[in-house]
C-alpha cells in the first residue's frame, strides 16, 4: 500500500474514533504459573494497562433489542465491535468495563493495517460484592 494512502487511512480511523470515543482500560490476565506442588495458579488481581482510546460500534446494520428469548428467560446478545488505532496495546482475552458491564476481547481482525478491529464477548455486570 502507498505510504501516503496508509497515512490518510490512519487519520480517517482516528477521526472516526474521536467522534464517539471511550476511555479503554484493559486488564490483561497473567500467565498461569506452576507451583511447587505441581498445580497451576494465576494472579487474581492483575494490574490494568494504561488508559487508551477506542470506539465501540454496532456489528449489525439494523436495530435489534439485544435479547434472545430462551426458556430460562431473556439472555443478552450484544453485537458490538471495538475499533482502535493500530498502535493500541490489545490482545485476545483482555477484559474491560463499559457502562458497568464486563467485556472480553475474543478476536482481533488479522489483516487490517490501518486499525485494529476486535470482537467482544459480553460477560455481564459484576456479581460479587467487594
CA 65, 107, 70 angle in degrees (round to 5)?
35
Residue 61 neighbours by CB under 8 Å, 6+ apart = none
Give this prediction's pTM: 0.76
- From the number of C-beta atoms within 10 Å of its C-beta (0-12, 13-18, 19+), residue 24 rates as buried
Sign of CA pseudo-dihedral 44, 50, 51, 54 = negative
pLDDT (average), residues 118-124: 87
Each residue's pLDDT tens digit, 22-33: 999 999 887 778
Each residue's pLDDT tens digit, 22-80: 999 999 887 778 888 878 877 677 888 899 999 998 877 666 666 677 777 776 666 78
**Predicted local confidence at residue 58, as pLDDT:** 82
What are the structural domains of the chain? 3-29+44-124 (2.40.10)
Amino acid at each position: 500500500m502507498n505510504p501516503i494512502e496508509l497515512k490518510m487511512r490512519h487519520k480517517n480511523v482516528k477521526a472516526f474514533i474521536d467522534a464517539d470515543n471511550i476511555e479503554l482500560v484493559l486488564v490483561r490476565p497473567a500467565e498461569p504459573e506452576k507451583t511447587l506442588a505441581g498445580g497451576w495458579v494465576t494472579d487474581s488481581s492483575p494490574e490494568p494497562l494504561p488508559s487508551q482510546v477506542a470506539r465501540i460500534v454496532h456489528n449489525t446494520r439494523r436495530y435489534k433489542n439485544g435479547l434472545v428469548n430462551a426458556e430460562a428467560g431473556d439472555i443478552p446478545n450484544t453485537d458490538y465491535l471495538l475499533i482502535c488505532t493500530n498502535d493500541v496495546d490489545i490482545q485476545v482475552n483482555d477484559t474491560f468495563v463499559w457502562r458497568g458491564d464486563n467485556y472480553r476481547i475474543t478476536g482481533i481482525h488479522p489483516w487490517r493495517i490501518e486499525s485494529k478491529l476486535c470482537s467482544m464477548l459480553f460477560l455481564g455486570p459484576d456479581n460479587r460484592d467487594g
